[in-house]
């Protein structure tokens, strides 16, 4: 053998060593790609949903006050306004929302209440009513037409 051939054999790595180095690099590249793909999937799947779920406030629709007979005797004159979403103005027939469902829910909720509940648990009753109204004005696709309510009148006797 010539000296040049022996020098090439000394400098060249063995077949097993070359495969090990290649595998380490391949695993490292795959690990980095998996981390990047996971981060991108998380970003696109979860950050986009949070922004899309929050409704944007539209106009406020005032409804005529109604007088409700309370379960334990007495009366409640209650007026509410509906905080609609922008989707309510753009969807539906003629835009806006019809307050009939909301007034029906007001009557059914408060006609079952005792006078002590109307004065003592006002916020709890309002929260329950608001939840019912938002649910009633949510369409089949999950788009909310009403996002909240405001009391404009609340008088008991």
Which three-class secondary structure string do you get for 75-123?
EEEEEEEEEEEHHHHHCCCCCCCCCHHHHHHHHHHHCCCCHHHHHHCHH
CA–CA separation, 148 vs 110, rounded Å? 18
CA–CA separation, 84 vs 59, rounded Å? 6
Condensed to tens digits (0 to 9), the pLDDT of residues 96-125 reads: 688 999 999 999 999 988 898 888 988 999
How many CB atoms lie under 10 A from the CB of residue 116? 11
28-35: long-range contacts, CB 8 A cutoff, minimum separation 24: none
pLDDT at 90: 67
Give yes or no for residue 83 having a pLDDT over 70.
yes
Condensed to tens digits (0 to 9), the pLDDT of residues 13-67 reads: 555 555 566 788 888 888 888 888 888 887 777 765 545 567 788 899 999 999 9
**Cα distances (angstroms) measured from residue 128 to each of 12, 36, 61, 77, 134:** 79, 45, 19, 18, 10
The answer to whether 102 touches 138, Cβ cutoff 8 Å, is: no
Both tokens of 129, joined, read 């009513």
């Amino acid at each position: 053998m010539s000296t040049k051939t022996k020098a090439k054999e000394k400098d060249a790595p063995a077949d097993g060593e070359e495969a090990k180095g290649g595998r380490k690099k391949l695993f490292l590249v795959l690990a980095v790609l998996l981390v990047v793909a996971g981060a991108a999937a998380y970003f696109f799947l979860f950050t986009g949903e949070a922004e899309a779920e929050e409704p944007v406030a539209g106009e406020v629709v005032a409804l005529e006050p109604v007088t409700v007979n309370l379960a334990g005797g007495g009366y409640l004159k209650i007026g509410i306004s509906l905080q609609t979403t922008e989707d309510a103005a753009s969807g539906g027939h003629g835009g806006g929302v019809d307050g009939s469902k909301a007034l029906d829910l007001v009557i059914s909720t408060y006609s079952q209440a005792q006078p002590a509940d109307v004065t003592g648990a006002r916020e709890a009753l309002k929260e329950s009513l608001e939840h019912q109204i938002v649910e009633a004005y949510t369409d089949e696709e999950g788009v909310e037409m009403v996002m909240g309510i405001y009391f404009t009148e609340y008088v008991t006797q």
